[in-house]
Structure formats: C-alpha cells, structure tokens
C-alpha cells in the first residue's frame, strides 16, 4: 500500500513515536511506501511530502515535536481544499492516510472521510480531552512537567512564605490541572468544568495560613472561569482558526488573592513548556501502540475510524463518535483531588 501520514494542530510529545511506529510496521511488516506530509493538511493539499522509511526515523523516538511539522490549516477553509486533497490522493495513488491530531484535525478527518477520503485517526493532545479514548499521548508528559514545576515552586514558596499561582494548559477541560495539582500537592486547583468562587479560594488560603502554614500553591487551568458575577475577567480572544486564546487567568487570580488576603503572591505560567521536549516512557509506549494500531487499521480498510485506549486495550472507534463530545474531568477524579485542598 501507499500510505500518507500527517500531524495537525498543536504539537505534542510522542508525535514522532507514532510516526516511527506507523513506518516501522508499514515498511517491515506490510512492505508499504510511506509518505510524510508536511504541516498537516496543508502538505496534503499541496502534495508537499517527504519519503519516510525506518532508516530516516532513527533517533526520533525520544524527540519532542514532530519531524513533519504541523499547522491548523484545513481543507475546508478553502473553496478547492477538498478537491486538492483528492487530487493528491489520485496523483500519489495513496491507499490511505493516517491523521494524527486533536479535536480540530480529527473533526476535519471525519468530514473528509464523509467526502470519500480514506483516513484513519490517531488521537493526540496534551489536554487529554478527546472522548472515546481514556488517554491521549502527550498528557502524561505534560503532567510530569507541570508536577515538576509545582515541586520546585513549593520550595521557593516555603522560603518566602508566599502564595504561588501556577497556570497550566487546558482550554476546555482541567485534566492537566487536576492531575498535576494532585501529584504536586496543590492547596487548591481551579478547572474549567467547575467555576470557582474567588472568595472561597481566599478563605481557604486564609484558614490554612491561620493554622501556621504560610505557603500555598494554587493550580489554575488556563480555561478556568469564575462563577458568574464573582470576578471580572478579560473578554475571550480568538486566533485566526477560531480557537480561543487563553493564558492569563493566573494573573487575575493572583492579583485578587493578594488584595483580599494580603499574602504576597507570585505567578508562573507554564505555557508551551508543557508541550516541549522528550515524551515520558508512558507516552512513548502509548504512541507506539497507537501507531501500530493505525497502520493495521489502514490495512483493514477501517477508514473513518480512530484508534483509542479503552480499559488498557487499543480499540477502534468511529471518528464521528470520538469527536462528538470533549471528555471532562470525571467526578471521581475531581472529588479525589478536592479531598486534598487547603
């Protein structure tokens, strides 16, 4: 078979491990020709690719980012975008495409599948918010980075008797915040799923400090929102692809904590540090399993499907089902995290 691979949306540790696995089994087991498309769907529309083989993938397993490049460009943004995808498939005699991406890339893959494109999806995002899979690769790495940062913030917070507000990624869901907050011993964690009351946050900090503890860590997901009418925040901004642009709620929360409690407060916004660098062992393994399952799916002509992790087994689910709903933090996880607050 001739199989194209692309990585779309925000980058994520583990992308290269997926590509490597697809190529490994594709070439060694099936005797496939593998074409790596540059910058996501842009590369497919413009037939901009590099030949991938086992030799060219050497050394990529521990490498962060994506050797193919990525973008948020999608065929449906252009009048002739879908036609160009079909043209590339015809010109290159492609039997299938493996699209590795998050919500945006997989939604596009689903529409393209309905428009006749033979595509299989692989779920990627540090946010871990894709429904139908218990895990996306990249999440474990992001949680490790955030936890390490929180551990470091504890020691400086304790030395100075300060409140540290640390902002982690998570636009719509708070998986990273909840996990890193739990792993790092946060005093309180704020997530998009649970609008917060800044008054309650400050009260819990005060209660803790009155008991003789003078340092606290507040973990805030970038998409965390105050309960309506409790705290003014800046209006949402959107990027050119219609994605909400966040990053800054921590500043607002910290300012309010300082004013209301009088405790000296500092802010750390982790930002893209969470997406960079080498994937953890867990993410390398999950990425490799997804990659192997994706090339198997192409050979089974299971187009319109996405590989997923369920009960620690790799399964296939329809793309339409996978993108239907974002996966929020479960009640069990949130209740567990809350037991450790303040």
For position 14 contacting ligand F6P by CB under 6 A, the verdict is no
Strand ranges, E, within the chain:
2-7, 33-37, 49-52, 96-101, 119-123, 163-168, 188-190, 216-221, 237-238, 244-245, 265-269, 305-310, 313-318
Nearest distance, CB of residue 79 and ligand F6P, angstroms: 25
> Are 104 and 302 spatial neighbours (Cβ–Cβ below 8 Å)?
no
Crossing angle of helices 281-299 and 139-160, in 10° steps, is 160
How many residues form the binding site for ligand F6P (CB under 6 A)?
11
Binding window for ligand F6P (CB under 6 A); candidates: 109-117, 121-129, 204-212, 320-328: 121-129
70: which 2 tokens? 């990525």
Q: How far apart are the first and last CA of the chain?
A: 57
| Minimum CB distance to ligand F6P smaller for 43 or for 170 | 170
Nearest distance, CB of residue 320 and ligand F6P, angstroms: 20
Binding window for ligand F6P (CB under 6 A); candidates: 36-44, 154-162, 168-176, 183-191: 168-176
Q: Helix, strand or coil for residue 330?
A: coil
- Select from 3, 6, 7, 10 the one that contacts ligand F6P (CB under 6 A): 10
What contacts 284, CB < 8 A, 6 or more positions away? 14, 17, 61, 62
For position 102 contacting ligand F6P by CB under 6 A, the verdict is yes
205: which 2 tokens? 């900090």
Q: Which one of 11, 32, 39, 127 is the catalytic residue? A: 127
- Hey, which residues between 304 and 333 contact ligand F6P (CB under 6 A)? none
Binding window for ligand F6P (CB under 6 A); candidates: 80-88, 92-100, 123-131, 146-154: 123-131
155: which 2 tokens? 């020691």
Confirm whether 127 is a catalytic residue: yes
- Select from 27, 127, 193, 305 the one that contacts ligand F6P (CB under 6 A): 127
Active site residues: 127
The residues of the shown chain that bind ligand F6P, judged by CB under 6 A, are 10, 102, 125-127, 169-171, 222, 246, 275
């Amino acid at each position: 078979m001739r199989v194209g691979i692309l990585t779309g949306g925000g980058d994520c540790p583990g992308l290269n491990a997926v590509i490597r696995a697809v190529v490994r089994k594709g070439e060694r087991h099936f005797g496939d020709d593998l074409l790596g498309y540059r910058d996501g769907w842009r590369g497919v529309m413009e037939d901009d690719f590099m030949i991938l083989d086992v030799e060219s993938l050497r050394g990529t397993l521990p490498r962060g980012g994506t050797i193919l490049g990525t973008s948020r460009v999608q065929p449906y943004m252009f009048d002739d975008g879908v036609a160009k995808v079909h043209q590339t498939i015809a010109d290159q005699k492609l039997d299938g495409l493996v699209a590795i991406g998050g919500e945006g890339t997989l939604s596009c893959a689903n529409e393209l599948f309905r428009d006749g494109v033979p595509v299989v999806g692989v779920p990627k995002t540090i946010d871990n918010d894709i429904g139908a899979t218990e895990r996306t690769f990249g999440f474990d790495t992001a949680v490790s980075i955030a936890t390490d940062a929180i551990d470091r913030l504890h020691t400086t917070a304790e030395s100075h008797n300060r409140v540290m507000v640390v902002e982690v990624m998570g636009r719509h869901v708070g998986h990273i915040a909840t996990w890193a907050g739990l792993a790092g011993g946060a005093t309180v964690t704020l997530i998009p799923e649970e609008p917060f009351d800044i008054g309650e946050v400050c009260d819990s900090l005060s209660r803790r400090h009155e008991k003789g503890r003078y340092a606290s860590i507040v973990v805030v997901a970038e998409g965390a929102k105050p309960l309506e009418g409790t705290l003014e925040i800046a209006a949402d901004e959107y990027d050119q692809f219609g994605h909400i642009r966040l990053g800054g709620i921590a500043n607002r929360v910290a300012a309010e904590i300082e004013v209301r409690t009088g405790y000296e407060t500092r802010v750390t916004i982790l930002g893209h540090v969470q997406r960079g660098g080498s994937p953890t062992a867990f993410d390398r393994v999950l990425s490799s399993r997804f990659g192997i399952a994706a090339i198997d799916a192409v050979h089974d002509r299971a187009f319109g499907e996405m590989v997923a992790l369920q009960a620690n087994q790799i399964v296939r689910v329809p793309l339409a089902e996978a993108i239907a709903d974002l996966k929020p933090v479960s009640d069990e996880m949130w209740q567990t995290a809350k037991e450790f607050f303040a």
